[in-house]
Structure 1
Amino acid sequence: MRGFAEHRRIATVALVVGNYDEAIAWYVGRLGFVLSDDVDLGGGKRWVTVTPPNGQGARLLLAEASGEEQASRIGNQTGGRVFLFLETDDFSSDHQSMLAQGVEFREAPRHEAYGTVAVFADLYGNLWDLIEPKRRG
C-alpha cells in the first residue's frame, strides 16, 4: 500500500482492569508475565505494561477503569468472546503450570485443526485461549 511504513505491528493492547496492583499481581504471578513498565502519570493514572517472559508478541497495557462506563467493560470487553490468545510451543507444560497457579480454565484441552487449545479466564473474567498452533511442514 502506498504511504504506509512497511514494518508496522500491533505493539500494545489496552485491557481495562479494576485495579493496577491486583492486575499486575495476577498477570505476573499466575501467567508468568514480566512487568515492563509502571510509570506514574499523575492524577492516579499509571502506564503499566506486562509482556510474556520471552518478550514476544504485543504488550498488555493494564488500564485501570476511570468512571462507570469504563468500569462496566471490565471482564467483558468483547461481549463474551475470547479476547486474547496466548500462544505456546508446549501446551501441556503451560497448561499444568497455569492450573498450579490457580488459573481457571473453562474447558478441557481440545485438539482442533489449527492446534491444541483451551479457554481460560483472567481475574476479571476476560476469556483467553491458551493455544499451541499446529506446526506446518
Structure 2
Amino acid sequence: MSEHPIEGLMKTTMESIKEMVDVNTIVGDPVETLDGQVIIPISKVCFGFVSGGGEYSIQNKSKHRLDKDDACNTEKVPFAGGAGAGVTVQPVAFMIVGNGQMKLSPVDQGSAILNSLLDFIPKVTNSMQQKKKKTTNSCEDNIE
C-alpha cells in the first residue's frame, strides 16, 4: 500500500524538529573563562507541531470517493495538505563551575533577587550574633 501524502508531510516536519532540538539545545556547550571557571547555559525548549490535509473530488463526491475496502479502486483524488512547527528556546539559568564550587545562576530577575537574599541572610545573622557577643562581653567587663 502506498504512503498517504499527509504521512510524508508529517515525517518531513518531525525530522526537521529532531534536527533542531537535541540535548545540546537544553544544556548548552560549556564556555571556559580566563580565570578557569566553566559556564554552562541551560535553556527551556518548547515546540508545537501541526499537520492536516484533505482530499478533494473534481466531480460528484460519491463517484470519486475512495473506499478503503475496494482494492481495485485506482482512481485518485486531488490532495491538499500542510504541516508546520514552531520552536522557542529560552535561557533559564547558567551553571558556573570553578574554584571548587558550583553555582546555578537563574536568568529570571525575581529568582536572582531571591537567591541573593537567601545568600545574604546567613551573613546578617552571623553579624548580629557577633555584635550580641561583643555587647554581652562588654557588659560583663563593666560589672567587674
Shorter-chain TM-score range: under 0.3
When normalised by structure 2's length, the TM-score is 0.24
Q: Which is helix-richer, 1 or 2?
A: 2
**TM-score, normalising length: structure 1:** 0.24
Q: Compare the two structures and name the one with the higher strand fraction.
A: 1
